[in-house]
Amino acid sequence: MTLLLLVRRSLRQHLLSTVVTALSLAMAGGLLMSVWVVKRQARATFTGQTGAWDAVLGARGAKLQLVLNALFHLEASPGNVAFADFQTLSSNRAVALAIPIAVGDNYLGYRIVGTLTNLFTEAEAAPGRRFRLVGGGRWFEDGYREAVVGSFVAQRLGLKPGDTFKPYHGLNFNPKEQHEDEYVITGVLEPSNTPADRVLWIPLAGLQNMSGHAAATASDVSAVLVKLRSAVAGQQLDMLYNKQGDRLTFAWPLGTVLAQLFDKMGWFDQVLELVAYLVALVAAGSVLASIYNSLSARRRDLAILRALGARRSTVFASIILEAASIAALGMVLAWGLYAVILGAVAAVIRAQTGVVLDPWAWDPVLVIAPLALVVLGALAGVLPAIKAYGNPVAENLAPES
Protein backbone atom coordinates (compact mmCIF):
# COMPACT_ATOMS: atom_id res chain seq x y z
CA MET A 1 0.00 0.00 0.00
CA THR A 2 2.81 2.38 0.97
CA LEU A 3 4.74 1.67 -2.20
CA LEU A 4 1.68 2.14 -4.37
CA LEU A 5 0.83 5.40 -2.62
CA LEU A 6 4.39 6.67 -3.05
CA VAL A 7 4.43 5.75 -6.73
CA ARG A 8 0.98 7.14 -7.45
CA ARG A 9 1.81 10.48 -5.87
CA SER A 10 5.17 10.69 -7.55
CA LEU A 11 3.62 10.04 -10.95
CA ARG A 12 1.02 12.68 -10.27
CA GLN A 13 3.60 15.20 -9.14
CA HIS A 14 5.51 14.69 -12.38
CA LEU A 15 2.45 14.29 -14.57
CA LEU A 16 3.79 15.92 -17.73
CA SER A 17 7.00 13.91 -17.89
CA THR A 18 5.03 10.78 -16.92
CA VAL A 19 2.61 11.24 -19.81
CA VAL A 20 5.29 12.15 -22.36
CA THR A 21 7.44 9.18 -21.35
CA ALA A 22 4.46 6.83 -21.35
CA LEU A 23 3.51 8.05 -24.82
CA SER A 24 6.97 7.33 -26.19
CA LEU A 25 6.80 3.84 -24.72
CA ALA A 26 3.29 3.46 -26.16
CA MET A 27 4.66 4.27 -29.58
CA ALA A 28 7.33 1.63 -29.22
CA GLY A 29 4.86 -0.96 -27.94
CA GLY A 30 2.24 -0.15 -30.55
CA LEU A 31 4.80 -0.33 -33.36
CA LEU A 32 6.31 -3.57 -32.11
CA MET A 33 2.96 -5.29 -31.78
CA SER A 34 1.71 -3.96 -35.12
CA VAL A 35 4.81 -4.98 -37.06
CA TRP A 36 4.75 -8.42 -35.52
CA VAL A 37 1.02 -9.06 -35.94
CA VAL A 38 0.83 -7.66 -39.47
CA LYS A 39 3.78 -9.81 -40.49
CA ARG A 40 2.34 -12.96 -38.94
CA GLN A 41 -1.28 -12.42 -39.92
CA ALA A 42 -0.44 -11.31 -43.42
CA ARG A 43 1.64 -14.42 -43.97
CA ALA A 44 -1.02 -16.72 -42.50
CA THR A 45 -3.89 -15.00 -44.25
CA PHE A 46 -2.24 -14.79 -47.66
CA THR A 47 -1.20 -18.41 -47.44
CA GLY A 48 -4.67 -19.36 -46.23
CA GLN A 49 -6.26 -17.80 -49.33
CA THR A 50 -4.74 -20.52 -51.44
CA GLY A 51 -6.40 -23.24 -49.41
CA ALA A 52 -9.21 -23.76 -51.91
CA TRP A 53 -6.68 -24.44 -54.66
CA ASP A 54 -3.56 -26.56 -54.86
CA ALA A 55 -1.83 -25.14 -57.92
CA VAL A 56 -1.99 -22.67 -60.79
CA LEU A 57 -1.03 -23.35 -64.40
CA GLY A 58 0.09 -20.38 -66.46
CA ALA A 59 2.43 -19.15 -69.15
CA ARG A 60 6.14 -19.77 -68.67
CA GLY A 61 7.42 -17.30 -66.11
CA ALA A 62 7.78 -16.63 -62.44
CA LYS A 63 5.60 -18.77 -60.22
CA LEU A 64 5.04 -15.96 -57.72
CA GLN A 65 3.81 -13.57 -60.40
CA LEU A 66 1.51 -16.26 -61.72
CA VAL A 67 0.01 -16.95 -58.29
CA LEU A 68 -0.37 -13.30 -57.41
CA ASN A 69 -2.10 -12.68 -60.72
CA ALA A 70 -4.40 -15.70 -60.70
CA LEU A 71 -5.35 -15.92 -57.03
CA PHE A 72 -4.84 -12.44 -55.63
CA HIS A 73 -5.66 -10.46 -58.80
CA LEU A 74 -2.45 -8.50 -58.41
CA GLU A 75 0.40 -8.00 -60.90
CA ALA A 76 0.14 -8.50 -64.65
CA SER A 77 -0.50 -11.88 -66.24
CA PRO A 78 2.79 -13.48 -67.34
CA GLY A 79 1.13 -14.55 -70.61
CA ASN A 80 -1.58 -16.76 -72.01
CA VAL A 81 -2.35 -20.47 -71.93
CA ALA A 82 -3.90 -22.12 -74.94
CA PHE A 83 -7.40 -23.43 -74.32
CA ALA A 84 -6.17 -26.86 -75.45
CA ASP A 85 -3.69 -26.86 -72.58
CA PHE A 86 -6.53 -26.19 -70.17
CA GLN A 87 -8.51 -29.06 -71.66
CA THR A 88 -5.54 -31.39 -71.45
CA LEU A 89 -4.97 -30.50 -67.82
CA SER A 90 -8.62 -30.79 -66.81
CA SER A 91 -8.84 -34.24 -68.36
CA ASN A 92 -5.80 -35.42 -66.40
CA ARG A 93 -6.89 -38.04 -63.86
CA ALA A 94 -4.70 -36.42 -61.20
CA VAL A 95 -6.78 -33.22 -61.38
CA ALA A 96 -9.97 -32.98 -59.35
CA LEU A 97 -11.04 -29.60 -60.70
CA ALA A 98 -9.56 -27.12 -63.16
CA ILE A 99 -11.09 -23.68 -63.74
CA PRO A 100 -9.73 -21.30 -66.36
CA ILE A 101 -9.61 -17.55 -65.80
CA ALA A 102 -8.92 -14.70 -68.18
CA VAL A 103 -7.93 -11.19 -67.25
CA GLY A 104 -7.20 -7.99 -69.13
CA ASP A 105 -10.07 -5.61 -68.39
CA ASN A 106 -11.25 -3.51 -65.50
CA TYR A 107 -14.17 -1.46 -64.37
CA LEU A 108 -13.19 1.81 -62.67
CA GLY A 109 -9.95 0.19 -61.56
CA TYR A 110 -11.43 -3.08 -60.27
CA ARG A 111 -10.38 -6.15 -62.20
CA ILE A 112 -12.77 -8.03 -64.44
CA VAL A 113 -12.06 -11.75 -64.50
CA GLY A 114 -13.59 -14.10 -67.02
CA THR A 115 -14.30 -17.63 -65.82
CA LEU A 116 -16.79 -20.48 -65.96
CA THR A 117 -19.83 -20.73 -63.67
CA ASN A 118 -18.50 -23.92 -62.15
CA LEU A 119 -15.99 -21.71 -60.30
CA PHE A 120 -18.96 -20.73 -58.13
CA THR A 121 -20.80 -24.01 -58.10
CA GLU A 122 -17.93 -26.50 -57.73
CA ALA A 123 -15.05 -24.62 -56.13
CA GLU A 124 -14.78 -23.06 -52.71
CA ALA A 125 -14.30 -19.38 -51.93
CA ALA A 126 -12.13 -20.42 -48.98
CA PRO A 127 -11.48 -23.81 -47.40
CA GLY A 128 -14.84 -25.20 -46.31
CA ARG A 129 -16.73 -22.18 -47.59
CA ARG A 130 -18.78 -22.14 -50.82
CA PHE A 131 -19.45 -19.08 -52.93
CA ARG A 132 -22.84 -17.61 -52.09
CA LEU A 133 -24.86 -14.70 -53.40
CA VAL A 134 -26.31 -11.98 -51.24
CA GLY A 135 -30.15 -12.32 -51.14
CA GLY A 136 -31.69 -12.55 -54.63
CA GLY A 137 -29.65 -12.66 -57.79
CA ARG A 138 -28.19 -15.61 -59.65
CA TRP A 139 -24.94 -16.75 -61.21
CA PHE A 140 -24.22 -15.42 -64.69
CA GLU A 141 -24.98 -17.59 -67.70
CA ASP A 142 -22.01 -18.62 -69.83
CA GLY A 143 -22.42 -17.03 -73.23
CA TYR A 144 -24.33 -13.98 -71.96
CA ARG A 145 -23.10 -10.52 -71.11
CA GLU A 146 -23.77 -10.97 -67.44
CA ALA A 147 -21.66 -10.46 -64.35
CA VAL A 148 -21.41 -11.44 -60.71
CA VAL A 149 -19.77 -8.77 -58.58
CA GLY A 150 -17.56 -9.24 -55.53
CA SER A 151 -18.94 -7.75 -52.31
CA PHE A 152 -16.15 -5.18 -51.86
CA VAL A 153 -16.58 -3.86 -55.41
CA ALA A 154 -20.36 -3.77 -55.04
CA GLN A 155 -20.06 -1.83 -51.81
CA ARG A 156 -17.48 0.61 -53.14
CA LEU A 157 -19.20 1.24 -56.47
CA GLY A 158 -22.78 0.90 -55.22
CA LEU A 159 -23.54 -1.91 -57.68
CA LYS A 160 -26.54 -4.23 -57.35
CA PRO A 161 -28.33 -6.85 -59.46
CA GLY A 162 -29.89 -5.27 -62.52
CA ASP A 163 -27.23 -2.57 -62.84
CA THR A 164 -25.17 -2.45 -66.02
CA PHE A 165 -21.58 -1.48 -66.74
CA LYS A 166 -19.19 -1.22 -69.66
CA PRO A 167 -15.68 -2.61 -69.00
CA TYR A 168 -12.49 -0.65 -69.66
CA HIS A 169 -9.56 -2.20 -71.45
CA GLY A 170 -6.44 -3.08 -69.49
CA LEU A 171 -5.78 -3.80 -65.85
CA ASN A 172 -5.55 -0.12 -64.96
CA PHE A 173 -8.42 2.28 -65.37
CA ASN A 174 -8.19 4.59 -68.38
CA PRO A 175 -11.45 6.41 -69.18
CA LYS A 176 -10.50 6.61 -72.86
CA GLU A 177 -10.42 2.86 -73.25
CA GLN A 178 -14.01 1.83 -72.60
CA HIS A 179 -15.39 -1.19 -74.44
CA GLU A 180 -18.76 -1.03 -76.15
CA ASP A 181 -19.98 -4.27 -74.55
CA GLU A 182 -22.49 -3.74 -71.76
CA TYR A 183 -22.85 -6.23 -68.93
CA VAL A 184 -25.81 -6.77 -66.62
CA ILE A 185 -25.15 -7.66 -63.02
CA THR A 186 -27.04 -10.78 -62.00
CA GLY A 187 -25.74 -11.18 -58.46
CA VAL A 188 -23.46 -9.89 -55.73
CA LEU A 189 -21.19 -12.33 -53.87
CA GLU A 190 -21.47 -12.69 -50.15
CA PRO A 191 -18.35 -11.26 -48.47
CA SER A 192 -15.75 -14.02 -48.26
CA ASN A 193 -12.82 -11.91 -47.03
CA THR A 194 -10.83 -13.20 -49.99
CA PRO A 195 -9.51 -11.50 -53.12
CA ALA A 196 -12.72 -12.67 -54.90
CA ASP A 197 -14.50 -9.81 -53.12
CA ARG A 198 -12.54 -7.27 -55.21
CA VAL A 199 -13.38 -8.66 -58.63
CA LEU A 200 -16.16 -8.35 -61.21
CA TRP A 201 -16.70 -11.85 -62.59
CA ILE A 202 -17.99 -12.34 -66.13
CA PRO A 203 -18.22 -15.39 -68.45
CA LEU A 204 -14.86 -16.55 -69.83
CA ALA A 205 -16.10 -16.15 -73.41
CA GLY A 206 -17.21 -12.62 -72.66
CA LEU A 207 -13.72 -11.52 -71.78
CA GLN A 208 -12.11 -13.52 -74.56
CA ASN A 209 -14.38 -11.98 -77.17
CA MET A 210 -14.61 -8.44 -75.79
CA SER A 211 -14.72 -5.87 -78.56
CA GLY A 212 -11.18 -4.79 -79.37
CA HIS A 213 -9.45 -7.92 -78.05
CA ALA A 214 -7.14 -9.74 -80.48
CA ALA A 215 -9.07 -12.40 -82.35
CA ALA A 216 -5.98 -14.60 -82.64
CA THR A 217 -5.85 -15.20 -78.92
CA ALA A 218 -9.58 -15.18 -78.32
CA SER A 219 -9.62 -18.77 -77.12
CA ASP A 220 -6.62 -18.40 -74.78
CA VAL A 221 -6.93 -18.12 -71.03
CA SER A 222 -4.68 -16.28 -68.56
CA ALA A 223 -4.29 -19.11 -66.08
CA VAL A 224 -5.91 -22.28 -64.81
CA LEU A 225 -6.75 -22.77 -61.13
CA VAL A 226 -6.17 -26.39 -60.15
CA LYS A 227 -7.46 -28.65 -57.40
CA LEU A 228 -5.48 -31.89 -57.24
CA ARG A 229 -6.57 -35.31 -56.13
CA SER A 230 -3.35 -35.89 -54.14
CA ALA A 231 0.07 -34.45 -53.34
CA VAL A 232 1.64 -37.08 -55.59
CA ALA A 233 -0.36 -35.62 -58.45
CA GLY A 234 1.33 -32.28 -57.80
CA GLN A 235 4.78 -33.87 -58.13
CA GLN A 236 3.77 -35.56 -61.39
CA LEU A 237 2.45 -32.32 -62.91
CA ASP A 238 5.45 -30.38 -61.59
CA MET A 239 7.68 -32.83 -63.44
CA LEU A 240 5.51 -32.67 -66.56
CA TYR A 241 5.23 -28.90 -66.90
CA ASN A 242 8.26 -27.46 -65.14
CA LYS A 243 11.02 -30.00 -65.75
CA GLN A 244 10.07 -31.81 -68.95
CA GLY A 245 8.10 -29.00 -70.63
CA ASP A 246 9.23 -25.47 -71.42
CA ARG A 247 6.06 -23.67 -72.46
CA LEU A 248 4.08 -23.51 -69.24
CA THR A 249 4.61 -22.99 -65.53
CA PHE A 250 2.95 -25.13 -62.92
CA ALA A 251 2.96 -23.20 -59.60
CA TRP A 252 2.87 -25.82 -56.86
CA PRO A 253 2.81 -26.07 -53.89
CA LEU A 254 1.20 -22.68 -53.45
CA GLY A 255 2.34 -22.20 -49.83
CA THR A 256 5.97 -22.48 -50.87
CA VAL A 257 5.46 -20.14 -53.80
CA LEU A 258 3.81 -17.51 -51.61
CA ALA A 259 6.52 -17.88 -48.98
CA GLN A 260 8.84 -16.32 -51.59
CA LEU A 261 6.77 -13.16 -51.38
CA PHE A 262 7.32 -12.85 -47.66
CA ASP A 263 10.95 -13.82 -47.98
CA LYS A 264 11.37 -10.97 -50.44
CA MET A 265 9.67 -8.61 -47.99
CA GLY A 266 11.71 -9.92 -45.07
CA TRP A 267 14.16 -7.01 -45.14
CA PHE A 268 11.26 -4.59 -44.81
CA ASP A 269 9.97 -6.42 -41.74
CA GLN A 270 13.44 -6.30 -40.27
CA VAL A 271 13.73 -2.56 -40.84
CA LEU A 272 10.36 -1.97 -39.18
CA GLU A 273 11.30 -4.21 -36.27
CA LEU A 274 14.61 -2.43 -35.91
CA VAL A 275 12.83 0.93 -35.85
CA ALA A 276 10.46 -0.39 -33.17
CA TYR A 277 13.36 -1.70 -31.07
CA LEU A 278 15.16 1.62 -31.40
CA VAL A 279 12.03 3.50 -30.36
CA ALA A 280 11.78 1.13 -27.37
CA LEU A 281 15.37 1.86 -26.39
CA VAL A 282 14.89 5.60 -26.74
CA ALA A 283 11.69 5.34 -24.69
CA ALA A 284 13.49 3.36 -21.99
CA GLY A 285 16.17 6.04 -22.02
CA SER A 286 13.51 8.69 -21.55
CA VAL A 287 12.15 6.76 -18.52
CA LEU A 288 15.65 6.77 -17.09
CA ALA A 289 16.24 10.45 -17.81
CA SER A 290 12.82 11.50 -16.58
CA ILE A 291 13.14 9.78 -13.20
CA TYR A 292 16.84 10.52 -12.82
CA ASN A 293 16.27 14.24 -13.38
CA SER A 294 13.34 14.31 -11.00
CA LEU A 295 15.52 12.83 -8.24
CA SER A 296 17.29 16.15 -7.72
CA ALA A 297 13.98 17.67 -6.74
CA ARG A 298 13.03 14.64 -4.66
CA ARG A 299 16.19 14.21 -2.58
CA ARG A 300 14.57 15.88 0.40
CA ASP A 301 11.39 13.78 0.12
CA LEU A 302 13.50 10.64 -0.03
CA ALA A 303 15.48 11.77 3.01
CA ILE A 304 12.25 12.47 4.92
CA LEU A 305 10.99 8.98 4.08
CA ARG A 306 14.23 7.48 5.37
CA ALA A 307 14.04 9.63 8.51
CA LEU A 308 10.54 8.27 9.10
CA GLY A 309 11.94 4.74 8.99
CA ALA A 310 11.63 3.76 5.32
CA ARG A 311 14.29 1.28 4.38
CA ARG A 312 16.70 1.85 1.54
CA SER A 313 15.10 -1.14 -0.19
CA THR A 314 11.69 0.54 0.05
CA VAL A 315 13.05 3.66 -1.63
CA PHE A 316 14.79 1.52 -4.26
CA ALA A 317 11.63 -0.49 -4.92
CA SER A 318 9.47 2.61 -5.16
CA ILE A 319 11.68 3.99 -7.96
CA ILE A 320 11.68 0.69 -9.83
CA LEU A 321 7.92 0.42 -9.42
CA GLU A 322 7.52 3.97 -10.63
CA ALA A 323 9.51 3.21 -13.77
CA ALA A 324 7.52 0.03 -14.35
CA SER A 325 4.27 1.92 -13.78
CA ILE A 326 5.17 4.50 -16.42
CA ALA A 327 5.90 1.63 -18.79
CA ALA A 328 2.64 -0.11 -17.84
CA LEU A 329 0.71 3.09 -18.49
CA GLY A 330 2.48 3.28 -21.82
CA MET A 331 1.44 -0.27 -22.63
CA VAL A 332 -2.22 0.51 -22.00
CA LEU A 333 -1.87 3.31 -24.52
CA ALA A 334 0.13 0.97 -26.76
CA TRP A 335 -2.83 -1.38 -27.13
CA GLY A 336 -4.94 1.53 -28.29
CA LEU A 337 -2.23 2.62 -30.71
CA TYR A 338 -1.90 -0.96 -31.93
CA ALA A 339 -5.63 -1.11 -32.67
CA VAL A 340 -5.42 2.15 -34.63
CA ILE A 341 -2.32 1.10 -36.61
CA LEU A 342 -3.61 -2.38 -37.37
CA GLY A 343 -7.06 -1.05 -38.27
CA ALA A 344 -5.46 1.32 -40.77
CA VAL A 345 -3.09 -1.31 -42.17
CA ALA A 346 -5.92 -3.84 -42.42
CA ALA A 347 -8.05 -1.32 -44.33
CA VAL A 348 -5.21 -0.66 -46.78
CA ILE A 349 -4.45 -4.36 -47.29
CA ARG A 350 -8.11 -5.15 -47.76
CA ALA A 351 -8.52 -2.36 -50.31
CA GLN A 352 -5.41 -3.45 -52.20
CA THR A 353 -5.72 -7.23 -52.03
CA GLY A 354 -9.11 -8.20 -50.59
CA VAL A 355 -7.31 -10.05 -47.82
CA VAL A 356 -8.71 -9.17 -44.42
CA LEU A 357 -6.55 -8.89 -41.30
CA ASP A 358 -8.26 -9.04 -37.92
CA PRO A 359 -6.93 -6.42 -35.47
CA TRP A 360 -8.75 -8.17 -32.63
CA ALA A 361 -7.33 -11.62 -33.28
CA TRP A 362 -5.34 -13.07 -30.39
CA ASP A 363 -1.58 -13.15 -30.77
CA PRO A 364 0.88 -13.94 -27.96
CA VAL A 365 2.93 -10.89 -28.92
CA LEU A 366 0.10 -8.72 -27.62
CA VAL A 367 1.09 -9.82 -24.13
CA ILE A 368 4.77 -10.64 -24.59
CA ALA A 369 5.75 -7.27 -26.11
CA PRO A 370 4.02 -5.16 -23.42
CA LEU A 371 5.47 -7.36 -20.69
CA ALA A 372 8.94 -7.07 -22.20
CA LEU A 373 8.60 -3.30 -22.37
CA VAL A 374 7.40 -3.09 -18.78
CA VAL A 375 10.48 -5.09 -17.77
CA LEU A 376 12.62 -2.78 -19.92
CA GLY A 377 11.00 0.22 -18.24
CA ALA A 378 11.70 -1.28 -14.81
CA LEU A 379 15.32 -1.90 -15.82
CA ALA A 380 15.56 1.73 -16.94
CA GLY A 381 14.62 2.63 -13.38
CA VAL A 382 17.58 0.76 -11.87
CA LEU A 383 20.10 3.58 -12.26
CA PRO A 384 17.84 6.24 -10.70
CA ALA A 385 16.88 3.70 -8.02
CA ILE A 386 20.55 3.17 -7.18
CA LYS A 387 20.97 6.92 -6.91
CA ALA A 388 17.91 7.15 -4.65
CA TYR A 389 19.20 4.17 -2.65
CA GLY A 390 22.38 6.03 -1.87
CA ASN A 391 20.70 9.36 -1.15
CA PRO A 392 22.37 10.66 2.07
CA VAL A 393 19.64 11.31 4.62
CA ALA A 394 21.26 13.84 6.94
CA GLU A 395 22.54 16.02 4.10
CA ASN A 396 19.13 16.27 2.53
CA LEU A 397 17.02 16.98 5.58
CA ALA A 398 16.44 20.48 6.90
CA PRO A 399 19.38 22.81 7.42
CA GLU A 400 21.38 21.99 10.50
CA SER A 401 21.20 24.16 13.64
Partner 1 sequence: MALLEIENLQKSFRTPDGRILPVVDVPGFRLNAGELVALSGPSGTGKTTFLHLIAGILAGDSGRITLDGQDMATLSEAGRDRIRARVIGYIFQTFNLLQGFTCLENVLLGMSFGPGADPVRARSLLNRVGLSDRLDYYPRQLSTGQQQRVAVARALANRPKLVLADEPTGNLDPANAAQALALIRELCAEEGSALLLVSHDPSVLAAFPRRESLAILNQASRKGGGL
Footprint of partner 1 (CB under 8 A): 1-2, 5-6, 9-10, 12-13, 300-301, 304-314, 393-394, 397-401
Please, what is the minimum distance in Å from the beta carbon of residue 289 to partner 1?
Answer: 21
Task: Return d(Cα 140, Cα 188) in angstroms, integer.
Answer: 11
Q: Which is nearer to partner 1, 135 or 399 (CB)?
A: 399
Please, what is the minimum distance in Å from the beta carbon of residue 384 to partner 1?
Answer: 17
Residue type, 297: A
Q: Which is nearer to partner 1, 255 or 392 (CB)?
A: 392
Please, what is the minimum distance in Å from the beta carbon of residue 300 to partner 1?
Answer: 8
C-alpha torsion angle, residues 228, 231, 233, 239 (rounded to 10): 120
Contact 374, 324 (CB under 8 A): yes
* 3-class DSSP assignment, residue 225: strand
Please, what is the minimum distance in Å from the beta carbon of residue 21 to partner 1?
Answer: 18
Q: Which is nearer to partner 1, 129 or 299 (CB)?
A: 299
Please, what is the minimum distance in Å from the beta carbon of residue 388 to partner 1?
Answer: 15
Q: Which is nearer to partner 1, 313 or 352 (CB)?
A: 313
Contact 317, 4 (CB under 8 A): no
Q: Which is nearer to partner 1, 90 or 314 (CB)?
A: 314
Beta strands in 74-131 (DSSP E): 95-107, 110-115, 124-126, 129-130
Residue type, 50: T
Q: Which is nearer to partner 1, 6 or 66 (CB)?
A: 6
Listed as own residue / partner, the contacts of 367-373 with beta carbons closer than 8 Å and 24 or more positions apart are 369/29, 369/32, 369/33, 369/36, 369/334, 370/29, 370/33, 370/331, 370/334, 370/335, 373/25, 373/28, 373/29, 373/32, 373/280, 373/283, 373/327, 373/330, 373/331, 373/334
Contact 366, 34 (CB under 8 A): no
On the 0-12 / 13-18 / 19+ scale of CB atoms within 10 A, 119 is buried
Task: Return d(Cα 238, Cα 368) in angstroms, integer.
Answer: 42
Please, what is the minimum distance in Å from the beta carbon of residue 31 to partner 1?
Answer: 33
Q: What is the DSSP letter of 94?
A: T
Please, what is the minimum distance in Å from the beta carbon of residue 306 to partner 1?
Answer: 7
Please, what is the minimum distance in Å from the beta carbon of residue 320 to partner 1?
Answer: 18
Please, what is the minimum distance in Å from the beta carbon of residue 304 to partner 1?
Answer: 5
- Contact residues for 119 (Cβ-Cβ < 8 A; gap 6+): 99, 101, 131, 201, 225
* 3-class DSSP assignment, residue 109: coil
Q: Which is nearer to partner 1, 14 or 198 (CB)?
A: 14
Q: Which is nearer to partner 1, 197 or 301 (CB)?
A: 301
Q: Which is nearer to partner 1, 9 or 132 (CB)?
A: 9
Q: What is the CA radius of gyration of the chain?
A: 30
